Structures are given as C-alpha cells and as structure tokens.
C-alpha cells in the first residue's frame, strides 16, 4: 500500500456499533464506605457505567450481526460504512507439508486476498527499512495498529476530549461513556460476567503487581490473601519476568516460599510432579498461558483443578493468548487473568486485569488518590467498589478507547480465524526453518502445542549479529532473553532470536526470514 492511495482500505467502523443479544445487566454493586467513618468529603461523580453498553457488547456473534447505533454527537469524521468480513474463512488454503523433500507452501496472499485487504488497514506495511520492504516479525513484543483504531483514538481526542467522572458537562459525560463502553467491550471479549470485573491497568505487569499487592497485608485482611512463613507460591520456569519477579519480592517480604514447575527438553511444562508441587501449603499458582519465548500453549485444566483441590488462588498471564486465540475466562476457571492492549492491535499504556468479583471486592487498593474514594476526612477514608477502587487518578482514557476499538477490530476479523491463520503460519514456518542448516528452534515441535512465536539460534553466530543482519534486509525480529532469563539458562544459551506472527503476517514474510537466515548461516556460521 502506498501512502497516496487508500480507497482499497478495509473500513471497519469502530464507533457506536453493537451486537444484538440477550441483555445481561451489570454485576451487583457493593455498598460504599464503612460504618462510623466521618464524611467530610463525598464523591458524587463516580464513573457511571452505562448499562446499555454492557447489554450491547455482552453477546458477540460476529461482525455480520452487528447493529449500528445512532451517534449521540455529530462527528464530521465519523465513518458510516458497515464492517467488512475479513479472515472469516481459511486464509491459507492448504497446510504446509514435506513432500519428496520439498516444502509445500500455503497459497500466497495477493493484494486482493482477504489477508491482503487486511494488511491494507496497517499503513506501516507501506514503508521500507534499509531499502527493503518491511517484514514485521515482532508482534509478541508489540503489535501494529490498524487505521480504524488509530482513527478512533484521533476522533476521541479531536471531538470528545474530557476527563472521566469529573464533570456533568457534555465532554466529560462523553469521555466517561467512551471509557466505560471500552470496559464493557473488553469484558464481553473475554467472556466476563460483568464490566465490574475488568480493571484497567497500564499493562500486564501492573495487573500482576496489583494482585501481588493484595497478598500478605494486615492480619485483618481476607483469609484467602494471608501469606507468611510456611506458605508457598507456585509459578513455572517459563515465566516472563513480570510474572516471576513480583512473586519473588512478595516471598521476600512475607517469608513465603517460591516454587516452580520445571520444563521438559522440548519446551513444555513438566507436570509429572504436580500433586506434590501444588499442595496444602500453596496459596497461589500464577503461570503463563502462552509462553512469550517458547510459544508453548500451556494446559490450564490440570493446574487449575489441582489448585482448586488445595484451595489456592490461580492467576493466568494471558498476554500472548488473548490477542491470538479465543479466550473465555469462565471456561478457564481461573481467578485472575492479565493482558495488555499493545499486543492486540491497541495502543501502549493500557492493559486489563480480570478478576472474580468476590476476590476483587475484598482486595485493598493498589494506588491511592482521586477517583477511588467514597468518603474522605482527616480521620480516614472509605473506598469505592471495584473496579474504580483500583484506578486511582486520571486514567489512560484515549488508550482505553483505543483498546475498545482494537477489540472491535479483532471481533470483526474473528478470533477463531486469527488463531487458525497463525497455526497454519507456524506449521509452515517450522517446516521451512527445519531446512536451514545449523538452525536450532526452541519449544514444542508440534504446532498444535504452540502459538505463533518461534525462538531460534544460528549455530556459530551471535544472536545480536543475527538480529542486525535480519534488520539490514528489513526483517524485524527480537533478540535477547525476552524477559525470560531462566528459560535461556535452562536451554544453555545466552540469548535467542525470536520471530512472532500475527493476523497480518504472510507466508511471504516467513520466506523472507528463512532466506535471510540461510544467507546468514552461509556467511557467518
């Protein structure tokens, strides 16, 4: 796509659209404040959550069934075109196989194909890097943002910019409605029962730290969050540092013990000793759904069942699963799920924590300030119910609106289609990479057990050299330990190069990677 031609772009309207479905009301509200607390200052401008937003977005059946709602405000930049159906069918028509020693590739993606039209929504793919077409294979780190999401954020800033929950004027009301509507969209996207179960955070890291903060507090706190000597927290050896370091610090602070599930040689969790590892001393089990370095898709049912059997709380780092596959928090049966917006076609600075309502209700505030208080006096403060209790200060309003728009975009594409597309790309890529001499791929060899993330090492070539040489021909990959140092130690390497796919990745991108790696191996290996 060139910068001067955009009449073939997919125009997905991300404002004021809904899905017809059975109304599901917001969750039960909890009383504000506590008995006997002086009320010298009472908040009367809580961020009102419009019930119509939750009713609209609770049931999602695809872009073809989405109904338009009239805009409350005339916006001259508003798009009126109905969303296009994209990637609803099989993107790559044939799965790659090895036949007679040669690689059978899926059908390419010409400009007029479904994925070709989808890529046109991402203007960044019109640029070149060092004179070469951009091949972006770093979506596990951050995804690219489509025009409809960029446009939605721009329109919000241009026409509806105001603070949330701080005023009765029109702009403040519009900003509040947009912010809470985004919360409702996120809740519906992951199958939450109510928007009240969605806490907006800066990212996954903050969401995990929010939960960690609830443990080991004053002795008068909820029994489920008591933590001290003799108690144990269980993680896995493949965790991102964001789901490891907070628990290490919590154990140091409380005297609890950190234990972990080990890894097999092929990059999967070793669950052989699960019953011994998760025992009556276990208070929390926190683990990654899809590994950001190995691509491993971890099983949830055996871990959750064992944690439930001993009364432990469960938390899932879903940063690499929510953007790439259908996720239903009710089906997962965990207690907390954390994910971030910038890995799912949204902006940076916005993430989300989903938590069971009964747990969120008894958790103490994470940060203190405006917006999370009910009554304030010089003698003390009472706090509002979740989720506002955990969103002190002015929130990231426009990023939240952008996340809601990203949810709309992904819903229009269809998460099952996104997942299928990535599985086919991964199958094709694993077979193609296997033909490069001296290339070591980490993680499961069966594509059914991994997502669209492939880490590798080229024999005899420093990973940094690999990354720089790939960049020289326009191929963007991540190099390093990927905030998963213990994984590199486990497999005896100082670092890895990582290629990661998303809904806009094509087999041509994979071919460019494989060709460049073969050349690097010839020149440097």
| Distance of alpha carbon 181 from alpha carbon 50, whole angstroms | 7
CA nearest neighbour of 246 among 235, 237, 238: 235
Using alpha carbons, list the distances in angstroms from residue 130 to 79, 144, 259, 474, 505: 35, 19, 46, 6, 20
Reduced to 3 states, what is the DSSP secondary structure of residue 360?
A: helix
Sheet holding 313-317, edge to edge: 198-201, 351-355, 336-340, 313-317, 282-288, 232-236, 257-261
Cβ-proximal residues to 418 (8 Å cutoff; 6+ apart), any chain: 87, 324, 325, 410, 502, 503
The DSSP H or E segment spanning 352 is: strand 351-355
Is 483 noted as a catalytic residue in this protein?
yes
* Strand pairing category for 439-442 and 453-458: antiparallel
Sheet holding 478-480, edge to edge: 439-442, 453-458, 496-500, 478-480
Task: Please say whether the beta carbons of 401 and 152 come within 8 A.
Answer: yes
Catalytically annotated residue among 281, 345, 483, 488: 483
- Helix-helix angle 204-214:245-254, to 10 degrees: 20
| Distance of alpha carbon 101 from alpha carbon 3, whole angstroms | 41
| Distance of alpha carbon 337 from alpha carbon 349, whole angstroms | 18
Sign of CA dihedral 141, 146, 147, 149: negative
* Strand pairing category for 198-201 and 97-99: unpaired
User: CA geometry: angle at 56 spanning 353 and 170, to 5°?
Assistant: 85
Omega before 72 within 30 of 0, i.e. cis: no
Task: Please say whether the beta carbons of 4 and 50 come within 8 A.
Answer: no
Structural tokens at position 511: 């071919």
Beta pairing partners, 383: 373
Half-sphere exposure of 223 (CA within 13 A, CB side): 1
| Distance of alpha carbon 108 from alpha carbon 201, whole angstroms | 39
Sign of CA dihedral 46, 50, 51, 53: negative
Residues known to be catalytic: 483
């Amino acid at each position: 796509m060139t910068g001067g031609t955009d009449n073939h772009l997919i125009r997905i309207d991300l404002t004021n659209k809904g899905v017809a479905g059975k109304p599901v009301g917001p969750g039960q509200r909890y009383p504000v404040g506590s008995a006997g607390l002086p009320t010298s200052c009472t908040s009367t401008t809580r961020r009102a959550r419009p019930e119509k937003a939750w009713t609209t977005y609770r049931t999602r059946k695809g872009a073809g069934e989405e109904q338009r709602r009239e805009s409350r405000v005339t916006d001259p930049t508003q798009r009126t075109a109905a969303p296009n159906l994209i990637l609803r069918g099989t993107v790559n028509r044939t799965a790659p196989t090895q036949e007679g020693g040669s690689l059978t590739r899926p059908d390419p993606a010409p400009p007029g194909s479904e994925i070709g039209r989808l890529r046109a929504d991402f203007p960044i793919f019109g640029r070149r890097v060092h004179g070469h077409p951009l091949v972006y294979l770093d979506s596990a780190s951050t995804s690219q943002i489509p025009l409809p999401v960029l446009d939605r954020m721009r329109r919000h800033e241009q026409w509806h910019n105001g603070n949330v929950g701080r005023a009765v004027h029109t702009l403040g009301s519009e900003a509040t409605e947009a912010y809470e509507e985004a919360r409702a969209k996120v809740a519906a996207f992951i199958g939450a029962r109510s928007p009240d179960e969605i806490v907006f955070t800066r990212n996954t890291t903050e969401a995990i730290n929010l939960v960690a903060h609830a443990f080991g507090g004053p002795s008068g706190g909820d029994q489920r969050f008591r933590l001290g000597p003799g108690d144990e927290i269980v993680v896995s050896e493949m965790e991102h540092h964001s789901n490891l370091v907070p628990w290490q610090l919590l154990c140091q602070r409380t005297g609890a013990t950190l234990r972990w599930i080990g890894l097999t040689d092929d990059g999967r969790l070793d669950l052989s000793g699960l019953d011994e590892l998760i025992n009556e001393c276990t208070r929390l089990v926190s683990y990654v759904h899809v590994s950001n370095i190995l691509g491993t898709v971890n099983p949830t049912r055996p871990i959750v069942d064992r944690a439930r059997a001993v009364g432990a709380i469960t938390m899932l780092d879903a940063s690499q699963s929510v953007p790439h596959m259908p996720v239903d928090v009710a089906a997962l049966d965990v207690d907390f799920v954390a994910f971030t917006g910038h890995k799912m076609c949204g902006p940076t600075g916005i993430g989300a924590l989903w938590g069971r309502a009964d747990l969120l209700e008894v958790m103490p505030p994470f940060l203190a300030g405006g917006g999370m208080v009910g009554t304030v006096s010089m003698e003390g403060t009472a706090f509002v119910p979740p989720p506002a209790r955990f969103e002190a200060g002015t929130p990231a309003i426009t990023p939240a609106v952008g996340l809601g728009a990203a949810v709309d975009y992904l819903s229009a594409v269809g998460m099952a289609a996104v997942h299928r597309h990535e599985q086919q790309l991964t199958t094709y890529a694993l077979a193609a990479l296997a033909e490069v001499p001296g290339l070591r791929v980490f993680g499961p060899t069966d594509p059914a057990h991994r997502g669209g993330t492939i880490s590798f090492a080229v024999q005899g070539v420093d990973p940094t050299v690999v990354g720089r040489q790939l960049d020289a021909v326009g191929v963007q990959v991540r190099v390093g330990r990927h905030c998963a140092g213990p994984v590199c130690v486990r497999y005896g390497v100082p670092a890895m190069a990582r290629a990661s796919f998303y809904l806009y990745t094509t087999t041509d991108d994979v071919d460019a990677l494989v060709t460049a790696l073969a050349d690097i191996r010839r020149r440097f290996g």
